[in-house]
Amino acid sequence: MAKCLVVGGAGFIGGHVADLLIEEGHEVTILDNMSTGKLDNVNPIARLVEADITDKTDMQLLKSTKYDYVFHLAALARIQPSIKDPLTTHKTNVEGTLHILEYCRSSGAHLIFSGSSSIYKGDKLPTKEDDEKKPLNPYALQKLQAEQYIQIYSELYGTTYTILRYFNVYGERQILDGAYAAVVGILLDQKANDKSMSVTGDGEQRRDFTYVKDVAKANVMGMNWNGIFNIGNGDNKSINELTVAIGGHRHHLPEAENEVRVTLADNTRAREQGWKPTMQIEDWIDSVVER
C-alpha cells in the first residue's frame, strides 16, 4: 500500500483516479480548493484537505506529511477561459505546478502529472510524444511550461515523474455547463434539457475522445512508469458525428479561436506498458442518452 496525494481529487478526472487508487488498496488524501471540484466526486474513504496549490501557506502545511506518490490533476483546464484570463490560469497551471514540484523535491515523492495534447502542433497524425509542439493559446503554453519545469526539476534535483498527455476526456461526472465544461458534456446537457446542440464552426473538427476510467487506469499504472506518454483512444470523431450519435437538433456558432483542427493520439508508448483503451465514445453515449 502506498500513500497517495491526489491534487484536484474532487474534480472530474481526479475523483476517478482517487476511486481507483482506493479500490486497489492505497491510502488516499485528496487536496482540492473546491473551485470546480465537487463533494460528490470525493470518495468517502479518502481524506479531504481543502487547500490551494497557489497558496504558499497551504503548501508549507503540506510538507508535514510524506506521500509516496503525488497525482497532480489540478488545473484551470479549458482553452477559451485561458484566452480571456491568462494571468489567473497561469497562476494555477504554472505557479501551482512549481509548488507541487517543490513538495516532490523535498519529500522524494514520484509525480504523476496530467498533461495535455493541446501542446502539439497537430499537423502530424497520429501524433507521437516527440512530435513538434506549438501551443496556440495560453492554456496549451502553460501546460507545456509545466512539463518543462518538471523536466528541469528532474535534471537538477532528481525528481522522478510520469507525464500523461490526455486527449479529450469524457465520461461519468464530467462538467456539464459553465466555462470549464468540455464539448461532450455541453452537448449532452443541451440534449437532456431539450435544447438545440451548439456546434462551433462547421463541426468537422475531429477529436480523440478518451474515456475517463481509461485515463484513471493510466494514472494508477503510471506509478510504475517514467517519462512521457500519450493517453488517447487512438481514433477520432468529428463534432458532427457526436451530435448524430446523441440525436437531436443542432445550431452553429462561430468557430472557436486558437484551437487545433484535429487531434489523434499515437498511444503506442502507453500500450507497450500494458495500458489500452476500453471504451468507444459512441457506445458510451448510447448507454447514457435516453432515446
Task: Give the catalytic positions in this structure.
Answer: 139
Pairing mode of beta strands 250-253, 197-200: parallel
Pairing mode of beta strands 206-207, 237-238: antiparallel
- 5's grid cell: 496525494
Is the CB of residue 16 less than 8 Å from the CB of residue 39?
no
Q: For residues 126 and 275, what is the distance between their CA atoms, to the nearest angstrom?
A: 18
**What angle (nearest 5°) sits at the alpha carbon of residue 222, between those of residues 272 and 163?**
95
Q: For residues 244 and 104, what is the distance between their CA atoms, to the nearest angstrom?
A: 45
Q: For residues 263 and 232, what is the distance between their CA atoms, to the nearest angstrom?
A: 9
Q: For residues 128 and 179, what is the distance between their CA atoms, to the nearest angstrom?
A: 29
Peptide linkage before 254 cis (omega within 30 of 0): no
Is the CB of residue 71 less than 8 Å from the CB of residue 112?
yes
Residue 107: CB atoms within 10 Å: 17
Instruction: Give 64: exposed, middle or buried? Use CB within 10 Å, 0-12, 13-18, 19+.
Output: exposed
